[in-house]
Every structure is written in C-alpha cells, then in structure tokens.
Amino acid sequence: MARKELERGLKEWERKERVATLTRIAAGMRKDGKSEQSIQTALKGIYEYWKWTNNVKDHMPDLGNPANSEPPPALSNEAPGVLLSEVETQPIDWLWPKRIPLGKITILEGDPGMGKSLLAVSVAASVSTGRSMPGETPGKQGGVILIAPEDSSGDTIRPRLEAARGDPSQVLLLNTLVTLDEKKIKIYDRPFSLSQDLDVLEERIKQMKAVLVIIDPLTAVLGKNIDQSRDQDVREVFTPLAQLAERTGCAILIIRHLSKVGSANLLYRGAGSIGIIAVARLALIVAPHPTDVKKRILATTKNNLSEQAINIAYRIEENEVGVPYIQWLGEDHHDVNALVSNTPLSAQRQGILRVLKNSKSPLALKDIADRTGQDYDRLRKTVHRMLVAKEIASPARGEYTTIDHPCMTKPTDDNHNVPAGTTETSVPTETTETMETSETNVPTETSETSETSVPN
C-alpha cells in the first residue's frame, strides 16, 4: 500500500513539474514574439517526446534477468487507462446513510411546492454544524457549497438556514462568477454554469473542505448551450460532474422538478433526459401526504449502493418570524407511487381517509359507511382498492385505518395484538367471498363514475 501511494505521489509530482516546464517555455516563446499556433505546436511536440521517452524507458530490458526471459507486459505511465489491480478497494461512505452518498450524485425531485429547496437547506444546516441527520443517524461536519440562483440569499436562503440551526460561515454561495469581456473591456458577473465552471467548483470544494454541494435547480445551471432533454448534452455535463464528485469525495445533491407527463415508473417522471437519473447513483422524491396538507414524505426511487431507506415524513412549520423550517416526524409507510400521480384522490377516497384519520381506533366497513354517508356496497369495493394500493392498512381482520395511524405502532386492543408496523394487504376473511362474487363487475379506478375527482 505504501509503495502504491509513493508511486502515485511521484507521478503527480512529475506531472506538476512538466506543467511548470511547459508554462515557462510558452512564456518565453511569447516574449520572443512567437504566434500562439507555433507555441501550441511546440508544446505538443515536447509533450509527445516525453511520452515516447517514458515508453522507451518502460520497455527497456531488465539486465538483471537472463537473456532468454521475458518481463511481464507493463503499461506506460503515459498510456491511458489503469489496471483494476491498481485500484484501491473502498467502502461506500455516506453523508446521510442510504440517502445521500459521499463522492456521488444524488437527485432530489418532486412537484413544485413540495419543499425540495427547504429540505436541501435543512440537510445543509445539519452538515454545517455536524448535527445528526434525520432518523438520528450520525452526522458529518464540513463545508457546504450552495448554487441556488433562483432564491434570494438575504431574505430566503440565510433565514431558512438559520431557522434550521445551521452555521452560515460554513456555507458558500456560488451563483455567479466574475468574468472579463476582453472585447468590451468590461468586468461583469455571469451565472455559474455546469458546462463551463467545473474547475472553479472543484477549487471551491477544496478551499471550503466541502462535503456537500447543492444545485437548486438543475435547469438554472446547466448552461445556455445544453439541452436537458438531449441525452448526449446531459452526459457531457454529468459524466465530468460525477468524476469531480469521486475525486473530491463530495456529495452532490441536485434538485429538479417532475415532468407533467405521468408514468407508472417514478424514475421516468423527472424532467429532462433519462440520462440524468442514469448517472445519479441515488434518487430521492418528495411526495404529498394523503391526509395532511402540511406533511410531506421523502422516499427513495433509486439506490445503486445499498438497500433502500424507509420513507421518512416531515412537516413544514414556521418560526416566530414566519420563516419556514422542517420538522422531521419519523418513518412513514405510504406507497409513494400511489401518491405521486397526476390524478388526485377522489372525493370518496378523501372522505374515507379523513374518517379513518380522525378515529382513535381502526374501523369496520359498516362504521366507515355510517361516518362517511357513502353507499355500503360501493364503499366496500373502494376500500378494497385502497387496501391493494396501500393507501390504507388493515391491522386486524375486518378493520381499517390509515397507514400512519398511531394504532399501527402498538397493539390495537386486548384481542388483536398486532406487532408494530404490521399491515394485512389481503382482503379480510369475512368479506372475501362477497368481494370475489362481485369484483368481476367492479369498474376500474378510471371508470368509477361516482367518484368525483377533487383538485389538489
């Protein structure tokens, strides 16, 4: 291990020395009035000569070996590529276990108004102070670089960071860069661009000792010549960005909106090319809670590095001066696929969820029908569909409640000692036979003419 580290150090030193030599040669040629084209030609020739001499050196015979023996094949130091045997095996390191890995790209997506930016600032606040991440997982303290050109730093970003108990001195805003227009002889601020400024980003990561970069939103920083719907354009930006993340060991969290076009697979709901989600190693999504307009659910839609994390719920609150912050509420077991859709819940389903939420204990079908005023037979079929879709739970036969009801974390009563978090997704015994005889004629979800849709 020490030998490999020494070899890497020598190679890096040699590269820096060569860059310094080429810089001196270029400066001398410019001083002598040589053209830029001739300078570039000379530098390329010198570099090619160095590569050739290294190649000759690497393939010189070993005089200490017998004449008839052949040394094993070796790669030139200047040849592209690296043998896998030279790669050091490393474990996955996490900024937020099972949700945000270090040295990788993570996508955070959701519909507008879901609080994605607020969630990102909350994570940044925890990192800036080294505080534990939600779920009481160990935190990692370090610098944060925030690229968020659409939010005001003075009345939005800093107040939100402070409301989340973050340290502003550990967060660097990198929304603009100072640029010289040599033709107009003018110095001005231009927006940060992923397609042009990755070298600047890497320099700032090192200066800040950053462990987290937040890009919010993606469309604002791709660059004016990059089309996020073209896979080739996206990969030209994201591949170097992924390499930067790996070199620096920094977690990169990118926020983007969901597209208006619905899809059964949440991986295809994000705006832009599929190449965006393909390059990311992990993807998170924010979904609305079905019964509480202030609550959100954070779920994982892609994880190439570990098992998926359990959904976690949070509520958006406001402090005494009206600045929003996130209050984490713990695990949540709703099916996010059913919540993130373009089709809102029907009035019948919303009524059932409202009654179940307000009840102190699970309810039987008859009780639900009495409290909602819905027709029993139609309600029975609707409850069945909601159970299959994991919109509700059945902690005991013939009884129903919401997924996150308090009764789901403790025994329901003396007769039903249901373990914490247990749900029965099958249809209760006493209603199975009647459901089987009538379910063949049950209209599909899209054809329930009596269920009037209610806007979000």
Tens of pLDDT, residues 355-404: 898 898 999 999 999 999 999 999 999 998 888 877 788 888 899 998 77
- For 388, the token pair is 């299959």
SS3 242: helix
CA 453, distance to chain mean position in Å, is 32
* Half-sphere exposure of residue 16: CA atoms within 13 angstroms, side-chain side: 6
Closest to 207 measured CA to CA, from 244, 251, 248, 161: 248
Q: What is the DSSP letter of 23?
A: H
Q: What's the burial of 237, exposed, middle or buried (CB within 10 Å: 0-12/13-18/19+)?
A: buried
What number is the average pLDDT over the span 96-118? 92
Q: Which of 63-77, 219-233, 434-448 is least confident?
A: 434-448
Q: 36: how many CB neighbours lie within 10 A of its CB?
A: 10
pLDDT reported for residue 433: 34
- For 334, the token pair is 């709703």
pLDDT reported for residue 243: 93
| Region of residue 157 (left: phi > 0; alpha: psi -120 to 50; beta: else) | alpha
Q: Which of 216-220, 245-249, 305-309, 404-408 is least confident?
A: 404-408
Phi and psi for 13 in degrees, rounded to 5? -65, -45
pLDDT reported for residue 253: 97
> Domains, the chain, ranges and CATH?
2-63+73-86 (no CATH), 94-335 (3.40.50.300), 347-447 (1.10.10.10)
- C-alpha to C-alpha distance for 74 and 56, rounded to whole angstroms: 12
What number is the average pLDDT over the span 36-47? 88
- C-alpha to C-alpha distance for 98 and 253, rounded to whole angstroms: 14
Q: Which of 35-49, 261-275, 336-350 is least confident?
A: 261-275
Q: For a pLDDT cut of 70, what percent of the chain falls above it? A: 77
What number is the average pLDDT over the span 241-262? 87
* Distant-in-sequence, close-in-space partners of 200: CB < 8 Å, separation ≥ 6: 174, 177, 192
- C-alpha to C-alpha distance for 168 and 146, rounded to whole angstroms: 11
pLDDT reported for residue 435: 41
Q: 140: how many CB neighbours lie within 10 A of its CB?
A: 19
Contact 126, 133 (CB under 8 A): yes
CA 211, distance to chain mean position in Å, is 15
Q: Which of 92-101, 260-269, 327-336, 345-354 is least confident?
A: 260-269
